[in-house]
Amino acid sequence: MKAASTWVIACKEFKDTVRSFWLLVGSCLFVLTSLSVIYGVAALGGDFSFRPLPSVMNSLLMLDVFLIPLIAVLMAYDAFVGEKEQGTLLLLLTYPISRTALLVGKLLGQGFAFGLCLLIGSSVLPILSAVHLLPYDLTEVGKLTFALVISGWLLGLVFILISYAISLCASTKAQALAALLLIWLISVLLYDLGLLIFTIAFEGKITNELMNICLMINPSTLFRLLNHDLLEAQVLSQNVLLMGMYLCIWFVVFFLIDRWLLVRRTY
């Protein structure tokens, strides 16, 4: 019964994402980003020659770390507050379904839609390599793309859960969107900039342990460092696995926060 209810909600959320064109828009954004990076990097030298694969993947990573959290936030910011404004959330909670099943259903539906967007957009590089339009080894491209998709999907799920938390606390959709855009800006840009300033200002006084803690606090930084290490080592090193584990921990933490907020709130 609970599994069936969760599945119904997941299907509803996925269909809502399709109807709202977020699936189409998100896929197009990722495709355009991939094409822009591939041919933009090739044109940087003025002679339109394709650069080494690590350079292309690094450039793609720099854009994805901005785009992945943004699309996740825009997909999920109104997950609860939007339904509360429409009056459908109160009706939904009267049905014989637990609030945990409601949360899991929403996460499954929107998480699958986001993963599909990311997969479609990231498949451009392997497809062009497979048809010999790019001079890259298909196996190497496939491995790096797979790692980028999995880690990017996990980062997107974390930001979807962050969006749920804000959506549960906000009074209106406008408040939720404003708060989440601020969180997005801090996470993808201002945090690393502030950390750099802090490191330079207190040079020699910051221990490696404190610096590692600061890096692990931000999921976007974890995503960037994980893929940078993977590009450099070309293997699943201990650092890569450790950062992937930290991303999973952030996923669990925000899921538990969302569940606590949803169970505690009265509508």
Buried b (16+ CB within 10 A) or exposed e, 74-99: bbbbbbbbbbbeeeebeeebeeebeb
152-191 residue pLDDT tens? 999 999 999 999 999 999 989 999 999 999 999 999 989 9
Confidence of residue 267 (pLDDT cuts 50, 70, 90): low
Listing DSSP states for 153-178 in one string gives HHHHHHHHHHHHHHHHH-SSHHHHHH
Q: What integer is the mean pLDDT of 93-107?
A: 88
Contact 54, 234 (CB under 8 A): no
- Cα–Cα dist 62/65, whole Å: 6
Amino acid at 20: S
Q: Is the pLDDT of residue 265 over 60?
A: yes
Predicted pLDDT of residue 55: 85
Q: Lowest-pLDDT range, 72-81, 87-96, 119-128, 239-248?
A: 87-96
Reported as a single tens digit per residue, the pLDDT across 115-151 is 999 999 889 999 999 998 888 889 889 988 999 999 9
Contact in structure between 105 and 117 (CB atoms under 8 Å) = no
